[in-house]
Amino acid sequence: MSTIKTVGVAGSGTMGSGIAIVAARAGFRTIVYDVSQPSLDRARKQTEGFFAKSVERKKLTQAQVDTILGNLSSTTDIATMAQCDIVIEAVFENLKVKHELLAKLDAVCPPETLFASNTSTLSITEIAAGSGRDERVIGMHFCLPAQLMKLVEMSPGLRTSDEAFQAAWDLCKAMGQIPVKTKDNPGFILNYFLIPFNNDAIRMVEAGLAEPAEIDRAIKTGLGYAMGPLELLDLVGLDTHLLVAEALYAGTHEPRNQVPALVKRMIAAGHLGRKTGQGFYKYSGNAMFGG
């Protein structure tokens, strides 16, 4: 049973919004922080759209949705995060950005507040080093889309206390997720396999070996994946994939982790995936995945 009552999420992008849905849906008071009010407004609209689909599909009643949305609030004032028992950061895969955020959170949050990072590739120990509270920082890597996927990779840093890790583990289970414990290694479990796999799929497109739809169809049909690698990359965003792949490559120097040149050309063209309406596929609207 979790002792945590209020969950903070720092960052209102695709991952942050999904994590906030998971927490609020499980009955936790949830506060989303972002420096951008338009980003918070967009996330709220997408969240309401997600739950409207849940009602349409009879997964939830409107009364349940009203309660969930009542659990969920947002703020551009970082001081509000002092109310949280844990703050899960879901910002860019950049160590400096994460350190700056955690230092600001450390200045306003009580000493007992836990900090968790949704990083998929960076070292939890290195992230914790900029937090001001190394022993209370945990890696909690939710899988995209967080509101539909159950897996959370839980990683302690070298100085993370057993108490802090257990509290975060209990929270994860209370939110209805499935935690797995990993060591603080580049890519943890999932991205250790996924990043090189996705890069190989991009290289197939780059080499003209097959169209994106054919590659995805082969992977889904032959391997039983729910999404093909190129569909997933469009959902993640090519800009995000670049950051993650570069971080993993820097930590491993494994050639397959190095991002293909096609990714940088697509980013230069503004073809980032679902959020811009075009990536490996074309899209209309930017509705949140699932429902």
Write down the pLDDT at residue 286.
Answer: 56
191 is catalytic: yes
pLDDT of residue 197: 98
Determine which one of 89, 153, 198, 231 is catalytic: 153
Contact call for residues 256 and 200 (beta carbons, < 8 A): yes
As beta bridge partners, residue 73 has 31
Whole-angstrom Cα distance, residue 1 to residue 172?
Answer: 10
From CA 134, how far away is CA 253, in angstroms rounded?
Answer: 27
153 catalytically annotated = yes
- Distance (Å, rounded) from C-alpha 21 to C-alpha 172? 13
* Residue 289, pLDDT score: 53
Q: Which of 120, 131, 155, 198 is catalytic?
A: 120
Q: Select which of 155, 191, 198, 199 is catalytic.
A: 191
Torsion angle, CA of 239/241/247/252, rounded to 10 degrees?
Answer: -150
> Mean pLDDT of successive 10-residue segments in the chain (291 residues)?
92 95 98 97 96 95 97 98 98 94 98 96 95 98 92 97 98 98 93 96 98 98 95 94 93 95 98 95 70 53
What residue ranges in the chain does DSSP mark as E strands?
6-10, 29-33, 72-75, 86-89, 114-117, 137-142, 151-156, 178-181
Q: What is the pLDDT of residue 11?
A: 97
For the chain, domains (ranges, CATH) are 6-181 (3.40.50.720), 191-276 (1.10.1040.10)
Identify the pLDDT of residue 13.
92
Bridge-based pairing state of the strands 86-89 and 6-10: parallel
pTM exceeds 0.95, yes or no: no
Indicate which residue of 54, 117, 141, 271 is catalytic.
Answer: 141
pLDDT at 284: 84
- Residue 145 is predicted with a pLDDT of 87
